[in-house]
Every structure is written in structure tokens, then in C-alpha cells.
Structure 1
Amino acid sequence: MCGRFSQSQTREDYLSYLADEAERNIPYDPEPIARYNVAPGTRVLLLSERDEKLHVDPVHWGYAPAWWDKTPLINARVETAATSRMFKPLWQHGRAIVFADGWFEWKKDGEKKQPYFIHRADGKPIFMAAIGSTPFERGDDAEGFLIVTTAADKGLIDIHDRRPLVLSPEAARTWMRQDIGGTILEDLVVQGAVAADKFAWYQVTRAVGNVRKQGSDLINPI
């Protein structure tokens, strides 16, 4: 699953992997985002395509349609999202990308849980597939978005049995296109996914469990 991640670099650090400036409708911002502990229930910079250009909008992380009377969901399984009653409309019309440095996962260590930070071994940003309720630019907390997850494999399964669906930059760009669907998307989530052996992970401070903590030390190895 994915319940916490880091989004700390500048917008340009992430966007430069996806599209040149002519393909974006995003103001230049040289300031680092500096969110080292992004949690559900907060607004997150979400990348999507409108009118064939990329846009960034602050969108609520969590999804609960009007008929849902339980806690908002934060993840959607890739295996069922395209066909489920709840997620099918989002899969068809609300595909987006969450850019990040990496994500946190907790593993039981005796009586406590030890957090790990998982990132690309080559240091490049990660692009997590997301689906959400459009229009993303409306700016309220109605519904929101979810991060798409897939089954963990290889060494990652030692940390958790689920992980975010992380796409290559090329696949991430295609994922956001609004003129594709069906088998193209089915093939994309398989062929465009970043393989488990491209990731590395290490233990980090348990302070990351406190959502008020936001310092860069949260992603330092211990």
C-alpha cells in the first residue's frame, strides 16, 4: 500500500522528466516543495492532463463519494480499479500522477513497527499512478484522489505485500492522456511499471509516524 511519502524537490526537478515547458501549463516555481512526510487527508500536488497540456493542482488525498459512509479510501488496487463500481469512472476519466522522492512503509520489528523509506536506487524521482474525481482544479475537498497500488514482488515483499504502481516517465505521460483506454491501459500498467529490482530501501526514524514532523531528517537512513 502507500500511506505516506516524500515530495520535497522543486516542481521542475520532477517535471523535467516528463515534458518540456511547451507541454505544460504550470507556472515556474524555484522553491522546493519540502514536504518530507505527506499524509492522507492533506492536499497534495497532483499532476494531470487537460487540453493536451500538463497541469498541477493541490488535491485532497482521500476518496469518499457521497454514498460512501466509511472512512475515505487512500489506495485503489490496480487489479480491480478498472471494473469496480467505485473506481471505474475515476479510472476512465481521472487518471493522474503523484510525483515523489519515495514512499514510507512499516514492518513489524518485535513489539514495534520499523519504518522504511523506499526509493529508486538510481536516485531519480518516482511517478505514482493515481485516480481521482475531476475536475481537479475546482479547489475544494469534495472526494479527491487515490494512489493506485499493485502487488509487491522480489525483495519489496519483505517490507509489505503491496506497493504503489510506479510508472516510468514515458508511461506516466501516457497514463495521463485522456484519449486512451481499454487494452492500452491494461498493457501500460504492466509494461510501463518500474520493476522491483530498481528500488532500494533503508530504515528511517520512527518520528515519521508523527504527521506533524516534516524535516529532511525523516528520509535519512539510521
Structure 2
Amino acid sequence: MCGRFTQYNTREEYLSWLADEATLDIPCDPTPIGRFNVTPGSKVLLLSERDTTWHLDPVMWSYAPPWWDKKQFINARIETAASSPMFKSLCEYGRAIVFADAWYEWKKEGSTKQPFMIYRENRQPLFFAAIGSVPFERDDKREGFVLLTANADGELAEIHNRRPVAMTPEAARRWLHHDISSEEAIAVAREGMIPADEFTWHAMPASRLRME
């Protein structure tokens, strides 16, 4: 599960953790992204590799293939993404990264749901594994990307049974490379997930989490 997250630092701050091994085609922008409640159906800065060069494109957070006539997807399970007819080609050719600082989960408490903001204890950025329809520079309202999720473990499972696949910078760099298969990339993402005990969280007022 990941239905809301934050992306508020500058692109340079995120890239500084990743870009030592890549050729970039990304213009400098010192302005903070400043999004504290990123919602599905909005465009999100997505990092991908094309012709060995990294690109940053605004891409719609939701996806459905042209033949799908039901609700669009925002997440895909890492356990089945590489083999699912829905996501197999995306996992092979459309691997990408979403920058984030935290994500939100809602925990049922009595008759209400309490939102929690979850982030790394050391406040380092998160690099979510994403897959989407390529080429990402195409402005297509029907096709976009989804975030990969995995089973939550440790104390994270007390809030929600799923979590986004937040990778270390090393795993994130490898995830983008086209010289590995989708199965190999999935293994990289799973092995490079940030452990549950490196996260902390706090409750948020529900009124703060309005749609953007």
C-alpha cells in the first residue's frame, strides 16, 4: 500500500545521492518541489534511464493498458510484477524511480482511520521502485506508472500490511540499468529495500491530508 507520499526537497538534493555513476540530461532547478501530499492521478517527477542517460519527466501516477476498461492502478505487487500479464512489459522496459521523503498510511482505530507519516529515522530520502509505460516523455493521460509494494515487516506491519519498495541509493541505481532482466531487477529491489527498523513515524491530523 502507498496512496500518498511527500516529495518536497529539490531535485538536486535527491540526485546527489544517486548521480555519481550516471550521465544526466536533467536541467538544474534549485526550487524545492514542495509537495507534501502527492496523490494518485497527479503528475510526479519520475527518474528513468534512456540510452544510458538519466531523464526526469513529469508522469501521471496511475496506469492502465489501452484494453483495460476498469479502475486504473496505482500500485503493483513486487512478488508478481515480473510475471503478471498486466505489468510484465512495464517491469522489463519501464523501470523507474520516484523520489520521496515520507509516505502516509492509515490505520484503523475504532471507527476512524488515523493517518501516519512514515520516514527514515536519519531523514535521508527514499527511492521508490516504480514501473510504467514508456517512453515517459510522452504526454499520455491514459498511461503512466505504478509504485511497487511489498509485504510490510517489523513494526511497520502494525500500521499496514503493505509498504512501498523503498530502496537504498545503490539498489536504486542498479534498478534503472537496462543490462539486467526484470527478474534480476526485482531481486535487486528486494535485496536493496530499506529495513523496517530504519523507519519511524508519527500520527498526522486527518485534516492536513487534503487532496492536491
- Same fold, judged at TM 0.5 (above): yes
Query: Aligned equivalents of 2:139 and 2:84: distance in 1?
Result: 26
Number of positions where the alignment pairs a residue of Structure 1 with one of Structure 2: 212
Shift of 1:34: 0.4
Q: TM-score, normalised by structure 1?
A: 0.92
TM-aligned CA distance change 1:189 to 1:21, over 3 Å? closer
Aligned to 2:185: 185
Aligned to 1:89: 89
Aligned to 2:157: 157
Residue type at the aligned position of 1:106 = W
Query: Aligned equivalents of 2:52 and 2:96: distance in 1?
Result: 13
Moved more, 192-201 or 178-187: 178-187
Query: Aligned equivalents of 1:40 and 1:144: distance in 2?
Result: 11
1:17-70 per-position Cα deviation (integer Å, ceiling 9, x unaligned) = 001496211000000000100000000000101111111000000011111111
Residue type at the aligned position of 1:202 = H
Aligned to 2:200: 200
| Alignment partner of 1:111 is 2:108 | no
Aligned to 1:146: 146
Query: Aligned equivalents of 1:120 and 1:181: distance in 2?
Result: 29
Shift of 1:2: 0.3
Query: Would the aligned equivalents of 1:40 and 1:61 in 2 still touch at CA under 8 Å?
Result: yes
Shift of 1:182: 4.9
Residue type at the aligned position of 2:37 = N
| Alignment partner of 1:125 is 2:149 | no
Residue type at the aligned position of 1:71 = K
Shift of 1:189: 2.2
Q: Tell me the SS of whatever aligns to 2:19.
A: coil
1:90-125 per-position Cα deviation (integer Å, ceiling 9, x unaligned) = 000000000000100000122111100000111100
Residue type at the aligned position of 1:70 = K
Q: TM-score, normalised by structure 2?
A: 0.96
TM-aligned CA distance change 1:176 to 1:22, over 3 Å? closer
Residue type at the aligned position of 1:80 = T
Aligned to 2:50: 50
Query: Aligned equivalents of 1:66 and 1:170: distance in 2?
Result: 34
Query: Aligned equivalents of 1:4 and 1:183: distance in 2?
Result: 27
Query: Aligned equivalents of 2:52 and 2:207: distance in 1?
Result: 41
Residue type at the aligned position of 1:101 = D
Q: Tell me the SS of whatever aligns to 1:89.
A: helix
Query: Would the aligned equivalents of 1:98 and 1:129 in 2 still touch at CA under 8 Å?
Result: yes
Shift of 1:209: 3.5
Instruction: Percent identity, please.
Output: 55
Query: Aligned equivalents of 1:128 and 1:186: distance in 2?
Result: 13
Gaps of 5+ in 1: 213-222
Gaps of 5+ in 2: none
Query: Aligned equivalents of 1:182 and 1:21: distance in 2?
Result: 21
Q: Tell me the SS of whatever aligns to 1:138.
A: coil
Shift of 1:183: 4.7
Query: Aligned equivalents of 1:182 and 1:99: distance in 2?
Result: 21
Aligned to 1:61: 61
Shift of 1:196: 0.6
Query: Aligned equivalents of 2:20 and 2:26: distance in 1?
Result: 11
